[in-house]
Amino acid sequence: MEIAAPTESRYLHRMISQRRISFGVRLSAWLGFVLLVCALSSEDGRGVDTPKPSYHKSKFPCDEAAASHYTAYRVKEPIKIDGKLDEGCWKRVPRSARFTDILTGKPTLYDTRTAVLWDDKNLYVGFWIEEPNVAATLTERDSPIYTNNDVEVFIAGRDAYYEFEINALNTIYEVFFIWEDAYEKGGFAKLPEFKRSNPKVKPFNGVGFTTHPRGQRLGSWDWDFPGLKTAVHVDGTLNNDKDKDGGWTVELAFPWQGMKWLAKADNRALPPKNQDVWRIDFSRFNQYKAPPPEKDSSGWFLSPHGIWDSHIPECFPYVHFSHTEITKVAVPR
């Protein structure tokens, strides 16, 4: 049988209990503070390693959630492809953010920007490239243009993607890549330019990111984009380092009908419907680097990839297609 404690004893017992609870709360708070300090410490000598940002746990080396977004507006009249980017639509169009380093996302030595327009027939891409000494040497189509200074466009479909490169001589390089898991079921194997027996069709497993979750690809160096138009304009003197150039501009027209093999797998509309979204990459590669202490990889992108590899569609920017005409868009200041 339980005997009730006297009043004073119950009071004393309650005080002792409250003090124990108070001490426990203070102890918990102190331990929480210690754990917080440890968690905030980093590998620069202040303590344990900092937990890496969440995207490092991703299957891909880039921060997928941080990829750039760009809105592409319509044009009424076809654009003359001469490389000058002097039409009213190019003066009005919102240009992209300045390109950053492919690895770090940090600012680059020279300014590079792109813009996208479209109509019922073509996807139009423009580049503005700051370059004090414009240079290019390769003149044969499908030469390794990436060994010159160049700009590049990658257009992704669900089961394939297209690579395009161009130098200041208006020489181009292009390849069509197909994911192996879609090669047969997607109907690609039926086309001569995609057949494995074609000597210009070769296995491809990426550049720096050779563990892509989707596996390997086949690349066709025998595929040319139907109806493609390209032009370059140099603000200065090409291949003359005795003077200072302003840079160069690039103007491209990719006909929608040439993208049927990119659009086939998910039945994309060609041209796009209002607010359709495509993944398209925009980049620049140089045969020089900014001097130390800058850590310049020489690859500059609208959205960084986190690794030396252009071939990761999951890192490409999002391009939103708007039916709004560019003439109705406010002129950027």
Rounded to whole angstroms, the Cα distance separating 294 from 308 reads: 17
- Regarding whether 154 and 40 lie in a shared domain, the answer is no
pLDDT of residue 323: 97
Q: Which residues contact 73 (CB under 8 A, 6 or more apart)?
A: 93, 117, 118, 322, 324, 325, 326, 329
**Element (H or E) spanning 72, and its range?**
strand 69-74
Say if residues 152 and 253 touch (Cβ distance below 8 Å): no
Residue 56 resides in a domain: no
Helix-then-strand count for the chain, H and E:
4, 14
**Any domain includes 287:** yes
Low-confidence ranges of the chain (pLDDT < 50): 1-56
Task: Indicate if 34 and 85 belong to the same structural domain.
Answer: no
Looking at the domain assignment, is residue 231 inside a domain? yes
What per-residue confidence (pLDDT) applies to 65?
85
Check residue 58 and give its pLDDT.
73
Same domain, 38 and 92: no
> Are 204 and 316 in the same domain?
yes
Tell me, yes or no, whether 185 lies in a domain. yes
281 and 311 co-located in one domain: yes
Tell whether 25 and 161 lie within a shared domain. no
* Whether 239 and 154 share a structural domain: yes
Co-location of 290 and 148 in the same domain: yes
**Res 64: pLDDT:** 84
Question: Is-cis flag, bond preceding 199, omega within 30?
Answer: no
Residues 168 and 218 both lie in one domain: yes
| Residue among 70, 95, 97 nearest 85 (CA) | 95
Number of domains in the chain: 2
Task: Please report whether residue 333 resides in a domain.
Answer: no
Query: Does 220 share its domain with 277?
Result: yes
CATH code of the domain covering residue 248: 2.60.40.1190
Whether residues 232 and 142 fall in one domain? yes
Q: Determine the Cα–Cα distance for residues 272 and 1; give it in Å rounded to an integer.
A: 84
Q: Which domain holds residue 17?
A: 1-51
CB–CB of 117/73 below 8 Å?
Answer: yes
**Listed residue (269, 328, 329, 323) closest to 119, CA to CA:** 323
Identify the bridge partners of residue 279 per DSSP, sorted by sequence position.
Answer: 156, 318
Evaluate whether residue 250 is within a structural domain.
yes
Burial class (CB in 10 A: 0-12, 13-18, 19+), 326: buried
Residues 85 and 39 in one domain: no
